[in-house]
Chain A
Amino acid sequence: MTLDISGLKVSIGGKEILGGVDLRLAAGRVHGLAGESGSGKTMTGLAVLGLLPHGARVSGSIRLGERDLLTLPPKELNRVRGGEVAMVFQDPATSLHPMLTIGKQLTEHMRHHLRLGRAEAKARAVELLGKVRIPGPEEAYGRFPHQFSGGMRQRVAIAIALACSPKVLIADEPTTALDVTVQAGVLRLLRGLCDELGLAVLLVTHDLGVMSAVADEVSVMKDGLVVESGPRGQVLREPAHAYTRSLLDSLPDAELR
């Protein structure tokens, strides 16, 4: 299934945040969304799930298959959230509830969306924990987030996002809060899952190094607009837009060029 964002405009309190964003995610492909802080990358991701801050005005369309997510009634949107479109947040230290076991956080939406029984949900959760390479998935199931390291927590968050077999995964800076040494592992995991499960992934990042490692397509945002979009090799090697070139030039080493 594809996710088609076209002409997405968002304004909050009269201030325009997104000025007509077009993006197209395809199954089995990782679409990287780059740009500096405040360029609207995260807002684009949040808009897909209808999680924009209060008072945000949205126009345009976000089509998932036949449906437009922007006009979906709340109940149906709730079925899409977690069920068909899932999200991984930036900081796993704050995006997991500190007082709930990861087993609870892994199974609650499975039981709600997929109507699984307790035992089935647990079996699937343990399988997922294995899939994201958490050591000792059985024991990990009953533990709390603070008992895991940052990288492990982000793997748990990815497992939670994948629990209901979504078609689309929005990863909002999934490695920014992590140590450089564990970033690569998490990225490889995301890439592998995308290929294996045929996920359409939107990878939001300000980090062009991350981008070059895993993205198939790259879009570059500036001031709420997509200024350049295309296959990774083309955008990163022969940037057409001056802004993309300046982003690339600002990298400390020349590994990309």
Chain B
Amino acid sequence: MSDTTGPPPSGGAGPSSTRKEPPPSGGAGPLATRKIRRRGAHPLARFLVRRVLLAVLMAWGITLVTFVLTNLVPGDPVAANLGQRALGDPAIVAQWRAEHGLDQPLWRQYLLHLQGLLQGDLGTSQQSHRPVSQDLAEFVPATLELAGAAILVSLVLGVAFGVVAALRRDRLSDHALRVLSLIGISVPTFWLALMAFYLFFYRLQLTPGSGRVDAALGLAPAVTGMQTVDALLAGRWDIFSSAVAHLVTPALVLALYTIGLLTRFTRSAVLEVLGQDYVRAARAKGLPGRVVLFRYVLRSALVPIITVAGLAFGSLLSGTVLVEAIFAWPGIGQYAYKSATTLDLPAVMGVGLVVGVVYLVINLVVDVLYGVIDPRVRLH
């Protein structure tokens, strides 16, 4: 046996390289440095600036789309807002149209609308005769509170359920959780809301009924418009507990669908990551199970999870109408419904704008989270 076995093994071994590397740039030397570019700003900061600029552009797009769509709606706002007698009088109709700027050409209306927006003026609601911005400031926080509580509950429970189901694959707990998530996804929200209201309030009297706080307590001084937060800020524990009690049932009802959705997505995401080489490599390093789970598995699984959670939060916000109606929750869903049925165009546009901007913010947050979690996103 000779230790100087002729040529290096590179020559032989035909079937070896199954996966082609990118061609080495000049010898097998320090290739590692070739992809790294020195930059002035921190990559994450650059990534953020780019995303925010993009979001501003999208916000302008939203104003255009809401304006055009709202004006395409078949139906005459004049007819919807004036009485039968007034409609018969052309002078009144003309005056009403002039008052609301409806006599101007559409492009001018849009420019005026945009100009107003820049000054924080969303027009005046034809129903409430108050500035739309004032209406929204009242209704939006209520919905944000409801949807925010729902998404928080869904994230905690959905991710936990999904991880458990994946780790205990094909055992009893996995099957039970899968049935549960299927129920959560398929039960219609309005039915669930009615049943929950009937059961917990009417039969068991566990929860307070409709509204946001006990009327006797009054409202906490408005800061954010969210009762739970405002009560905490004011140090009013009685209002806080009442607000939480009012929030629990509608939030859970709203969350059930998202819990089911997140359970399923988390389960499949975790299962996929569990099969990855780097998880086996982490086990081969002798890392404790919880380190492998949290550092190696969940980190990767989080990318699809936050994608779904972001989308779910958006649909929660716009999907609260039924729950708000049943629990008499004074939110944006009820406001949107009322405005739409009365063709209150400024209010409809205001709601559209808010929902659009909320989607935008959620997408921005999700994008930024991608960058925080995955270095490959922010470095390229």
- A binding-site residues for B, Cβ under 8 Å: 49, 51, 78-83, 86-87, 89, 91, 93-101, 108-109, 112-113, 134-136, 140, 143-144, 146-152, 157, 160, 175-185, 187-188, 206-210, 212-214, 231-234, 251-253, 255-256
Complex alpha-carbon distance, A142 and B204, angstroms: 58
Distance in Å: Cβ of B28 to nearest Cβ of chain A: 5
Q: Which residues of B contact A210 (CB under 8 A)?
A: 9, 13, 16
Complex alpha-carbon distance, A8 and B13, angstroms: 29
B41 at the interface (CB under 8 A from A): no
Nearest neighbor of A150 in chain B, beta-carbon distance? B21
Binary contact track B23-41/A, C-beta < 8 Å → 1, others 0: 0100011111111100000
B6 at the interface (CB under 8 A from A): yes
B84 at the interface (CB under 8 A from A): no
Q: Which residues of B contact A185 (CB under 8 A)?
A: 28
Do B286 and A113 touch (CB < 8 A)? yes
B10 at the interface (CB under 8 A from A): yes
Q: Which residues of B contact A143 (CB under 8 A)?
A: 32, 36
Do B7 and A255 touch (CB < 8 A)? yes
Do B283 and A98 touch (CB < 8 A)? no
Do A231 and B1 touch (CB < 8 A)? yes
A-B pairs with beta carbons under 8 Å apart, 6 shown = A51-B284, A108-B291, A146-B379, A149-B21, A179-B24, A181-B10
Complex alpha-carbon distance, A49 and B286, angstroms: 9
Complex alpha-carbon distance, A157 and B278, angstroms: 11
From A136, A160, A178, B33 is in contact (CB under 8 Å) with: A136
Nearest neighbor of B373 in chain A, beta-carbon distance? A99
B11 at the interface (CB under 8 A from A): yes
Complex alpha-carbon distance, A95 and B15, angstroms: 22
Complex alpha-carbon distance, A251 and B12, angstroms: 8
Q: Which residues of B contact A178 (CB under 8 A)?
A: 17, 21
Do B31 and A81 touch (CB < 8 A)? no
Q: Which residues of A contact B12 (CB under 8 A)?
A: 207-209, 212, 251-253, 255-256
- Among B54-62, B65-73, B293-301, the one that faces the other chain is B293-301
From A113, A206, A213, A234, B5 is in contact (CB under 8 Å) with: A213
B83 at the interface (CB under 8 A from A): no
Q: Which residues of B contact A147 (CB under 8 A)?
A: 32, 35-36, 379
Do A95 and B278 touch (CB < 8 A)? yes
Given known pairs A179-B21, A179-B24, the reply for A81 and B32 (CB within 8 Å) is no
| For the complex of A and B, 10 pairs with smallest distance between CB atoms | A209-B12, A233-B1, A81-B286, A82-B286, A135-B30, A209-B13, A82-B285, A149-B31, A213-B9, A94-B277
Complex alpha-carbon distance, A136 and B32, angstroms: 9
Query: Given contacts A81-B283, A183-B10, could you give 17 more A-B pairs where the C-beta distance is less than 8 Å?
Result: A79-B286, A93-B19, A95-B277, A97-B300, A99-B376, A108-B295, A109-B286, A109-B287, A140-B32, A149-B32, A176-B16, A176-B17, A179-B17, A183-B17, A208-B12, A213-B9, A233-B1
Give the total number of A-B pairs whose CB atoms are below 8 A apart: 185
Complex alpha-carbon distance, A108 and B292, angstroms: 11
Do A181 and B24 touch (CB < 8 A)? yes
Do A183 and B9 touch (CB < 8 A)? yes
Do B286 and A97 touch (CB < 8 A)? no
Do B17 and A144 touch (CB < 8 A)? no
Do B8 and A213 touch (CB < 8 A)? yes
Complex alpha-carbon distance, A206 and B15, angstroms: 9
Given known pairs A99-B300, A180-B13, the reply for A51 and B19 (CB within 8 Å) is no
Cβ < 8 Å to A, chain B residues 227-261: none
Nearest neighbor of A134 in chain B, beta-carbon distance? B32
B74 at the interface (CB under 8 A from A): no
Do B19 and A177 touch (CB < 8 A)? yes
Q: Which residues of A contact B17 (CB under 8 A)?
A: 176-180, 183
B326 at the interface (CB under 8 A from A): no
B341 at the interface (CB under 8 A from A): no
Do A151 and B28 touch (CB < 8 A)? yes
Q: Which residues of B contact A100 (CB under 8 A)?
A: 295-296, 299
Q: Which residues of B contact A136 (CB under 8 A)?
A: 30, 32-33
Nearest neighbor of B34 in chain A, beta-carbon distance? A149
From B10, B30, B287, B374, A82 is in contact (CB under 8 Å) with: B287
Q: Which residues of B contact A213 (CB under 8 A)?
A: 5, 8-9
Nearest neighbor of B380 in chain A, beta-carbon distance? A146
B114 at the interface (CB under 8 A from A): no
Q: Which residues of A contact B97 (CB under 8 A)?
A: none
B282 at the interface (CB under 8 A from A): yes
Q: Which residues of A contact B282 (CB under 8 A)?
A: 97
Do B379 and A81 touch (CB < 8 A)? no
Distance in Å: Cβ of B174 to nearest Cβ of chain A: 13
Q: Which residues of B contact A152 (CB under 8 A)?
A: 31-32
From B21, B32, B276, B286, A94 is in contact (CB under 8 Å) with: B276
Do A91 and B19 touch (CB < 8 A)? yes
Complex alpha-carbon distance, A177 and B28, angstroms: 15
Nearest neighbor of B23 in chain A, beta-carbon distance? A179
Distance in Å: Cβ of A173 to nearest Cβ of chain B: 9
B281 at the interface (CB under 8 A from A): yes
Q: Which residues of B contact A113 (CB under 8 A)?
A: 286
From A80, A81, A144, A207, B9 is in contact (CB under 8 Å) with: A207
